[in-house]
Amino acid sequence: MLIAQLSDCHITRPGTLASGRVDTAALLQQAVASVAALDPAPDLLLLTGDLVDSGHPAEYARLRALLAPLRLPMRLLPGNHDDRAALREAFPEQPWAADMPFAQSFAPSFAQWVTDLPEGAASLRLIGLDTVIPGRPGGMLCRERLDWLADTLAQAPQRPTLLALHHPPLRTGLHEMDGMNLGEGREALAGLLGRHPQVQAILCGHLHRHIHGQLAGVPVIVAPSTAHQIALELRPGQPARFNLEPPGYLLHRWSLADGLVTLGAVSGDWPGPYPF
């Protein structure tokens, strides 16, 4: 089972650049071409938020067009730059949890889902969590979202599970970004992980760098951006800035024998490969 994770695409309207400088559409095209060249092809494309830059419907239409060459099943999550309603309208075919029969009491505003990826006897469950606080850069898991997660985990306690969310439940040393990671709900999420050992890893975005950490002993894996990367500045009080470093994505390989293995990839055209 292969899952390609793209994150923080920040697609803008045609004729505009993110932060007045970054051609995020051209960079996403590079990532799409890189994923399309993978052999074997991924079984699923996972996009972990900040899909567009301002949540405008025209940005989501452009995102759909840019992703169209990848004829893969996909699952999308909102980030703090996204608009839930516009995202749901642009991708109505997604299995949003509020549309499912078992979610009668679940608020339809949340854009999250659960999906099972069959691989013989080792079916992998992927749960997408909406951590957005409208109008704020940081994230949260409120009681309603945590209760839904607890119920969903309880439905399949023996099935290996990955959680996907935009805001990482980490403190990284990137000062300003740490102030806008997952805030409220982090401790409750850690408690749920302690009671549900089937969770293999948490897959996140938001930080525009490839970062690894842990929450309650569970790996937290953060994808780089398909566009610009946060500058690696660890001095206290340093404001967040970005570099035009090589963009990238992650490839998660799951098997019952080996568990989860994550490979980092850089998109774009580079010399090679050459024989040793």
For tokens 């749901």, name the residue: 88
pLDDT in tens, 37-88: 999 999 999 999 999 999 999 999 999 999 999 999 999 999 999 999 999 9
Are β-strands 2-6 and 248-255 bridged in parallel, bridged antiparallel, or unpaired? Answer: antiparallel
Percentage above 90 pLDDT, the chain:
89
| Burial status of residue 58 (CB atoms within 10 A of its CB: 0-12, 13-18, 19 or more) | middle
Assess contact for 106 and 148: CB atoms under 8 A: yes
Q: CA angle, corner 12, sides to 25 and 44, nearest 5? A: 55
Distance CA 83, CA 151 (A): 26
pLDDT value of position 118: 79
CA 223, 89, 28, 259 torsion-angle sign: positive
Residues of the chain predicted below pLDDT 50? 101-105
Q: CA angle, corner 86, sides to 137 and 247, nearest 5? A: 55
As given in the structure block, the two tokens for residue 218 are 């569970």
